[in-house]
Structure 1
Amino acid sequence: MIDPRIKLRHLVCFLEVARLKSVVNAAELLNISQPAVSKTIQELEQLLGGSLFDRSKRKLFLTPFGEVFNRYASTSLAALRQGIDVARGTHEATIVRVGALPTVSARILPDAVEAFTAAGTGVHTRVVTGPNDYLLSLLRTGDVDFVIGRMAEPEAMVGLSFEHLYSERVVMVVRPGHPLLGERQFELPMIENYQTLLPTPNSVIRNLVDRLLLAHGITQLRDEIETVSNAFGRAYIRRTDAIWIISEGVVAVDVAEGQLALLPVDTSETTGPVGLTTRTDTASTLAAGSLQQAVRDAAARLR
């Protein structure tokens, strides 16, 4: 038997603190006081007999014990939510919730959603975007049905399954007429003279970008701007001489339409798999499976 002293509020509170890495933010989201969140976590730790969070840093990080508990608590809550939705026949059961990295939101998801909704099933689509770790946390708690994006690091894929759809590289884009486009012999270190837009440190492609720059001896970029906002990136480089380092899928349409231009640099070493990530312990609903197939079809047309 499960210890009857462990309540649903303990699990929900724990999962939100683990996802947000903050008692303050979890309290705001759950609409309860910070002391109440702290007390709930402490109660849960006493009931489980172990420390769930490392409190030695500014942000809260899961201990190894907490990582194990998080894996099972999140999938259990996700299964419970799905069961309640289906049993009640609620509006939530008629919605397919997909988490999508910006690269697929611009490249394959529009075609997939158009094909999915054209079938006239009456099922609605909810698209959530954000950093990879955020989307995976939503997947674990059942707040999205599946995630489309780059494959995460192995330690983040425990309890999850990845289906490869296509591969994608990181590119460097500038406005048309940028001075570097006129260089007869372009070399990557030339970008050091220009402002650079980079993905944030927690983004799935940041390590790839850092390794690429380091391999070419670039250690000191001028006035870096870190952003995951596609709207800001597009607007900023169109009005400045800045260079945007971003996943190809985010800017593929802009480049094809001549709104942006690629710098002539070989970034093949940044190529990585893009695909579907799902939970291994929970079967997809019929509607979610249909949208996944529409995504597969849209991705196949890229090849």
Structure 2
Amino acid sequence: MAFTLEEPGVDERITFESLLDERMLILVQPGHPFTDKEAIDPRDLEGETVLLTEPGCRYRSMFESALASHGVHTMKMEFASVEAIKQCTMAGLGVTLLPEIAVASEVEWGMLSVVPWRGPDIPVVTQMLWHKDKWMSPALKAFIEVSRALIGRGKESSFPAFRPR
């Protein structure tokens, strides 16, 4: 059994259960020129330094595809750690896209600023998955039920995020 933060999955051998739609946020250092804009679209990122997760991260791929579909070229910096991306964004080294769950405290404390996005949507969900044909212990079944109850609740966000066209 595993949890993922991806677009909804499909595989006939695996059971995927979506628990919570994750809000993806464009983030900058407070005071960045983007904070004065009502919202940005992919063209606004032309020539910007974009701080990215490592290759293979699905939301990174979707974000890069959104930029490429608009012919946008950016300077890219890759990190293996979300924490490193947050710290570099707070230091003013670039713009990033991260899940709200990973940055809620930093946004609340004013260490990162959210920039509303008018580009293509990046559909990401927290999901549980397990092999359909494997035996599940009573403890694992109970864990799945607790996860459904706790994670599946979700909460409304007060942060502006993606506003797809």
Q: In the alignment, which residue of structure 2 is the partner of 1:221?
A: 74
The Cα shift of 1:278 comes to 0.6
Q: In the alignment, which residue of structure 2 is the partner of 1:34?
A: none
Tell me the TM-score normalized by structure 1. Answer: 0.45
Q: In the alignment, which residue of structure 2 is the partner of 1:282?
A: 134
More helix by share: 1
State how many pairs are aligned.
Answer: 154
Does 2:2 align with 1:147? yes
Residue pairs, 1:26-65, within 5 angstroms: none
Equivalent-residue separation in structure 2 for 1:251 and 1:170 (angstroms): 10
Change in Cα spacing, 1:164 to 1:183, as seen in structure 2 (3 Å) is closer
Change in Cα spacing, 1:266 to 1:252, as seen in structure 2 (3 Å) is farther
Which of structure 1's runs of 4+ aligned residues deviate more than 3 A? 151-154, 183-188
Q: 1:168 aligns with which of 22, 26, 40?
A: 22
Tell me the TM-score normalized by structure 2. Answer: 0.77
Q: 1:296 aligns with which of 131, 148, 162?
A: 148
SS of residue in 1 equivalent to 2:134: coil
The Cα offsets for residues 170-190 of structure 1, whole Å up to 9 and x where unpaired, read as 321112222221236744323
The Cα offsets for residues 142-164 of structure 1, whole Å up to 9 and x where unpaired, read as xxxx111125754xx35211011
Does 2:92 align with 1:240? yes
SS of residue in 2 equivalent to 1:208: helix
Larger radius of gyration: 1
What is the RMSD of the two structures over their aligned residues, measured on CA atoms?
Answer: 2.4
Does 2:82 align with 1:230? yes
Equivalent-residue separation in structure 1 for 2:139 and 2:106 (angstroms): 31
The Cα shift of 1:248 comes to 3.0
Q: 1:194 aligns with which of 39, 48, 66?
A: 48
SS of residue in 1 equivalent to 2:62: helix
Change in Cα spacing, 1:255 to 1:185, as seen in structure 2 (3 Å) is closer
Q: In the alignment, which residue of structure 2 is the partner of 1:210?
A: 64
Change in Cα spacing, 1:265 to 1:184, as seen in structure 2 (3 Å) is closer
Equivalent-residue separation in structure 2 for 1:267 and 1:291 (angstroms): 37
Equivalent-residue separation in structure 2 for 1:168 and 1:268 (angstroms): 15
Which runs of 5 or more structure 1 residues have no equivalent in the other structure?
1-145
Q: In the alignment, which residue of structure 2 is the partner of 1:116?
A: none
Q: Which moved more, 1:160-169 or 1:248-257?
A: 248-257
Which runs of 5 or more structure 2 residues have no equivalent in the other structure?
156-165
The Cα shift of 1:166 comes to 1.9
More strand by share: 2
Equivalent-residue separation in structure 1 for 2:135 and 2:107 (angstroms): 38
Which structure ranks higher in relative contact order (CA pairs < 8 Å, sequence separation ≥ 6)? Answer: 2
Equivalent-residue separation in structure 1 for 2:84 and 2:14 (angstroms): 32
Equivalent-residue separation in structure 2 for 1:237 and 1:152 (angstroms): 28
